[in-house]
Amino acid sequence: MRRNSALNNGTADASGVTPGDEPPTSTPEGGARQSAIAEEQAFLDMATARRDRLTEHLEVELSSEALDALEHARQRMLRQQYEELRRAGEGLVFGRLDGLDGTVRHVGRIGLRDDVEDSEPLLVDWRAPAARPFYTATAVDPQGQARRRHVRTEGSTVVGVDDEPLDGSMTAELVGEGALLAALDQRRTGVMSTAISTLQREQDDIIRARATGPLVVQGGPGTGKTVVALHRVAYLLFTYRKMADQAVLVLGPSPRFLQYIGQVLPALGETAVVSATCDTLLADIPVGREESRVLAEIKGRALWQPALESYVASLLPRPRELKLRWEGDFYVIDAATVAQALASAVQGRPYHRARAAFAEQLHHLLADAVAEQRETLMNEMEEGFEDILARVDKGMEQDHRPLRTSTGSDVDGLLSEEEIEHLRTRIAENATIARFVEAWWPTLDAETLLGDLLSDRALLARMAPQLSPEEITAVSAEPAPWASSDIPLLDALADLLGDADAPQPQGEFVADHARRQRGWVYGHVVVDEAQELSEMQWQMVLRRCPSRSITAVGDIDQAEAAHRHTSWAQAVQAAFGDRWTAAELTICYRTPREVMDLTEPVLKRAGSHNAPPRAVRSSGIAPWQLTVTPAELVDAAAQAVRELQQRWHGGMVGVIAPADRVAELRAVLSDVPVLTATQSKGLEWDATLLIDPQGIAAEPRGWNGLYVALTRCTQELGQLILTP
């Protein structure tokens, strides 16, 4: 084996910043530093005491018997406030703004007021408008501020402060650069943490953007797009309180990714959030089969939506004369009346809801037919009875007897409105009538329907004429169980079939209700790694958020999915048309310059016309390569991982390899994650060991995958290069 470049561990200082790259923020020195820390410690102690008093007060109120008498909305608000206070212990205070007018505002995880009514906030919530200059003020645009201070804490102790004068005496490219770089140089733990103390201006602009339509955020590796997406959720739920009644859906690329980000929103006090992947949106239908990229691309096309709509429409019953039996008699509803009722019932409704609407009309039609027939029979009986009485009267006249007189009590044969309504109820509850409706307009199942469609080539050709004969053959040859690309088709069918209307419960458990209901309508949807979604998966998103209040973040240059989109315009055209807003993150915070310098030629090989994001930090560690033979690979990987773990003790090491080598490496490297490039999306480690980069590049869309793999580390990148 041969090492191609030396590992350099000695060029970075303790903060991870190379000489000459010291941030332009200032740290008070000596006595001034201790005085500043003591000042911030005193404030933190005061804020913590206030938080503790409020928490105890709410705890008592929530446990009291009086709580039961409060309305539901009030109970929910109190519980939400309690949870926010309870979770805000770590990092309660992290910033301070000194205004040009002498005002001082502290910024923190939550907002706090002291005991005095109508007083200024003791602590400003990071999401409040008053806190925005903490993220956006610069020396050029100080926004009324003279200084910004970042307060670094460990538990309940202030351990450091970083000051940024905003009077033009110092200029910094980054907001709170010292605090940001310190956070970036911390060891990875395998769990994403919040970043409310180190958000940058371009990130904050996106976080606080209006939620009036689709916002598509392009961000290269390490630009913080996932951080932005999650903090945007927290900001929106804080700013638009009604959004919490509908919950927010966060769609990620994999269960591993969702586990990685799982603590961010709860740490920010947000619970009205459902996390899922596109594969898990239909909770009762598991993905049980891998399929080829060719099939995945075919099934992901937008053409399936109109094809499935036509398919379900073809299953609606056709108008004809209906003959129903009720209490021994037959009643006929003519074809014209049935056609009118059918058209009225369908009117844009899903299949099963249209069926329910038609059944209700049929109950009325049958009740009316029964009432009319009874009236006719009674009239006929009365006419016959009157003939008999007329002959009797004539005989009595001849016999000189008194004639019969009308008493006004003759039966008219009409049913009262109450009697007709009672008849309709009996018809609606009648099992025989229900069986008749079921036979004529049967209940359908999405899985059965899709199986029937995909297995019938002639039917497929009629419903999806855009598919070629070869594509139809490929699609119809696939057996069960379902693959990932089948889930959007099943979701579309389930939506077209519909189910009974279900009310959307509100309250602190709104996320639990939303998670269980396929048809839940969310207040907002966040899509991470959005470049991977197929056109049919975008339809799944739109069904869950018809208001199109959507934030999609991703990197089009990291796309590895089977679809052929190479731009955001192509990726979202079928879902959004031209009605979407673009935003971009341009600065790479995570991946060091030494690694990002490797990415430009990879991007070009991937067919991208974009420049990689600009890295603003250096780890001082040059990427290294080790050349090995296939026979040496496993042992060399194990040795390299051991060395990386020693250098990054307390942090995380990850291994990325071609798909066909993952299994053998996992068997040996059981204490570190061994993933494909696709599986590593959105994750980060202190050090990455990249196995056989040429093998990754040779996979479908492999240069995009290699771009992903190269950019997962925060400090060190090592590569094992295979030689014959």
Q: Which residues are annotated as a binding site for ATP?
A: 219-226
Helix (H, G, I), strand (E, B) or coil at 438: helix
CA distances from 92 to 119, 149, 260, 271 (A): 20, 15, 23, 19
**Cα dihedral 602→607→608→614 (10° resolution):** 10
Q: What are phi and psi of 449, to 5 degrees?
A: -60, -45
Residue 520, SS3?
Answer: coil
- Report the alpha-carbon distance of residue 186 to residue 686 in Å, rounded: 9
What would the DSSP string read from start to end of 574-631? HHHTT--EEEEE-EESSS-HHHHTTHHHHHHHTT--SPPPEE----S---EEEEE-GG
Asked if 423 contacts 415 with a C-beta cutoff of 8 angstroms, the reply is yes
Tokens, residue 538: 């975008």
Whether residue 133 has a cis bond before it, omega within 30° of 0: no
The three-class DSSP label of residue 499 is coil
Question: CA–CA separation, 231 vs 204, rounded Å?
Answer: 9
Residues 189 and 686: their CA atoms lie apart, in Å, by 9
What torsion, rounded to 10 degrees, do the Cα atoms 344, 347, 349, 352 define?
40
Compute the distance between CA of residue 313 and CA of residue 676 in angstroms, rounded to an integer.
Answer: 42
The torsion region of residue 91 among left (phi > 0), alpha (psi -120 to 50) and beta comes to: left
E-strand stretches of 428-484: none
Residues of the chain with pLDDT under 50: 2, 5-25, 171, 191, 396, 399, 401, 403-411, 501-508
Whether the model pTM is above 0.85 = no
Measured between alpha carbons, how far is 4 from 113 in angstroms, rounded to an integer? 60
Residue type, 678: T
**What are the structure tokens assigned to 536, written together?**
């049919």
Q: What are phi and psi of 500, to 5 degrees?
A: -65, 145
What six digits make up the tokens of 455?
């297995």
The structure tokens 């709860």 sit at 266
Instruction: Tell me which residue of 651, 669, 646, 648 sits closest to 720, measured CA to CA.
Output: 669
Mention every residue, 6+ apart, whose C-beta is less than 8 A from residue 466.
301, 303
The contacts of residue 285 (CB under 8 Å, 6+ apart) are 447, 482, 487, 490
Q: What is the amino acid identity at position 12? A: A
* pLDDT for position 271: 74
Closest Cα partner for 243 from 20, 611, 547?
A: 547
322 Cα distance to chain centroid: 46
pLDDT of residue 388: 57
Task: Give the model's pLDDT for residue 80.
Answer: 78
Which of 531, 552, 556, 550 lies closest to 220, judged by CA?
556
Strand order in the sheet with 685-691: 2-3, 624-628, 713-722, 685-691, 653-656, 674-675
pLDDT score for 383 = 58
Helix, strand, or coil (residue 676): coil
Q: Which residues are annotated as a binding site?
A: 219-226
Question: How many Å from the N-terminal Cα to the C-terminal Cα in the chain?
Answer: 12
pLDDT at 394: 55
CB distance 721 to 4 below 8 Å? yes
Distance from the Cα of residue 116 to its chain's centroid: 41
- Per the CB < 8 A criterion, the answer to whether 603 and 612 are in contact is yes
Element (H, E) at 347: none
Distance of alpha carbon 153 from alpha carbon 94, whole angstroms: 7
Distance separating alpha carbons of residues 264 and 195, to the nearest angstrom: 9
- Cβ neighbours of residue 455 under 8 Å, at least 6 residues apart? 476
Beta bridge partners of 584: 218
pLDDT digits (tens, 9 = 90+) for 197-230: 678 888 889 999 988 899 999 999 889 898 899 8
Q: Of all helices (H) and strands (E), which one includes residue 425?
A: helix 417-428
- Domains of the chain from N-terminus onward: 29-185 (no CATH), 219-309+480-585 (3.40.50), 607-722 (3.40.50.300)
Distance CA 269, CA 253 (A): 24
Q: Are 689 and 665 in contact (CB under 8 A)?
A: no
Rg (alpha carbons) of the chain, rounded to whole number: 35
